[in-house]
Structure 1
Amino acid sequence: MCDDEIHQFEGTIRVPELPLSRRAFGVSAAAAASLAATMAHAEATVTEKDVSIKTRDGTCDAALFYPQGKGKWPAVLVWTDIMGLRPVFRDMGRRLAAQGYVVLVPNPFYRKAPATETVKLDFSKPDERAQLMPMAQSIGAPGAVESDATTFLAYLDGLPQTDKKKGAGTQGYCMGGPLVYRTAAVVPDRIRAAVTCHGGGLVTKTDASPHLLIPKMKAEVYSAVAANDDQRSPTDKDVLKKSFADAGKTARVEVYDGCNHGWCVKGSAVYNEAGAERAWSELSNLYKKKLV
């Protein structure tokens, strides 16, 4: 991720919020109860480990999840938002593993600090955001994402639980959106499904814009766009759609009306449970289709 993408991401979250549309998504107490039951099941059926992975630039702390019992499952690499590896992303990893995947959620800022330190920072507070921004820039160093993605996929493929005969997936949130595109481009023979949720900076005016990597991808891509991100940059979705079409790639780019930047991450001020569940359903269906 380059500096322009970080600035674009930072600007994105300042867009005024749109009113949430409960009618559109049918939010209900029953849905909340169902989600709670799903998470309880995941916690009971998934093995979770804290792992350390040697990289080109040091040692990355990460969370690993896979189903309990004997078997092999497809691999999935999860890129967090700018607040890094924390409990809500562990919940995502656990839930995904319960669906039958080996999931790695790395600390993207390991070059600067372990997740035990970054988890204490709050992006909404100016002084703490000032600490997070240099960390985000660290993964934007030349070749950093590409090196990390290759290393993380190799780590997953080296696990006895990973079925290397099946395709791998990757998903990312906010800052993690561009990292998904870069991952899909650098290891195209492994990544068969790629998902971005409220990805920041997928289209920029620089030569390093993630959308320019689309021709290198072999994955089917689903990009869920926040309504206020679309308001701020209304042509980005069209650039993405055209880039995928021109490259002959299968992809969907969809704006989520009533959902603001960050809506998929539980605990955020703009979390929209119904919208998050809809995005999760799209993600799950794509993985079932492509990771075979």
Structure 2
Amino acid sequence: MPTKTLLIPTTDGQADAFAAFPDDGERHPGVLMYADGFGIRPVLREMARELAGYGYYVLVPNFFYRHGPAPLVDLPEHIGEEARTALIARLMPLLEAHTEERVRSDADAYLRFLTTRPEVAAGPVAVTGYCIGGLLATRTAAAHPGQVAALAAFHAPVGAAGPDTLAKITAQVHFGHAESDLTPEALDELNRSLDAAKVDYTSEIYPGTVHGFTMSDTDAFDPAGLRRHWDRLLPLLRRAL
């Protein structure tokens, strides 16, 4: 599986990024994948490679590039709860500085770069993301309704996007929520907003999961949750792309 480390030109500099794609000389649909707050690291590279193996060009940008290349902080091989708390404290100021204006500007640059890669087929693309990356993916899909045909977000605070943002989405959508992140009442409220916006979506709580369940390098990892994630993501991409 070919992989590359790339630099994406943006209005504020160059964002480092990881890309994986099939080694068959063909052009494949593009997928923009947003990492969680811990950023690009071995588990994200492995997930990108796995998704690429199903026939996609997968681009994972470092959305904290304004502060330096990934990884911005030293990450342990396994992020336990104590390490997670300390890391979040260091990363929170960067998350707070990543304004909606920056998200939109970066999304323009990421999609422009993705769709002009020689390995990427013409046509619509997908965006997917984890944790805060799921919120970035949601905002990206809303800002590019004619270009993004599929949106998937996992254990992500997608409700923070707000009804006005959700109403702009024309992509087919799947939201996979951690049981610890969302009450059934909050899920109903989110789904009512999606219904009101006439979004083509599935939105469900994954039973027995906690925030971060897709990430195998954390205490939150849930193998059944990760399998369910692939079982939802891959059919969505096949339908939309």
Question: TM-score normalised to the size of structure 2?
Answer: 0.93
Amino acid at match of 2:6: V
Decide which moves more: 154-163 or 109-118. Answer: 109-118
Per-residue deviation, 1:216 = 0.9
Q: Confirm or deny that 1:215 pairs with 2:167.
A: yes
Higher relative CO (CA 8 A, sep ≥ 6), structure 1 or 2? 1
Deviations 1:87-121 (Å, cap 9, x if unpaired)?
11001111111110111001111111210333537
Sequence identity percentage: 33
Q: Corresponding residue for 1:77?
A: 32
- Counting only pairs closer than 5 Å after superposition, residues 1-292 of structure 1 correspond to structure 2 as 46-120=1-75, 124-125=82-83, 126-139=85-98, 141-165=99-123, 167-200=124-157, 202-204=158-160, 209-231=161-183, 234-291=184-241
Q: In terms of Rg, which structure is larger?
A: 1
The answer to whether the 8 Å contact 2:39/2:71 transfers is no
Give the CA RMSD over aligned residues. 1.6
1:142 Cα deviation from its structure 2 partner: 4.2
* Alpha-carbon offset, residue 137 of structure 1: 2.1
- Once the 2 structures are TM-superposed, how far is the Cα of residue 276 of structure 1 from its aligned partner? 0.6
Moved more, 109-118 or 268-277: 109-118
CA spacing shift, 1:124–1:182, aligned 2, 3 Å: farther
Q: Judge conservation of contact 1:65–1:102 (CA < 8 Å) in 2.
A: yes
CA shift for structure 1 position 283: 0.1
The one-letter code matched in structure 1 to 2:135 is: P
Are residues 119 and 180 of structure 1, via their aligned partners in 2, closer, same or farther at CA, if it must alter by over 3 Å? farther
- Kept in 2, the 8 Å contact 1:182–1:210? The answer is no
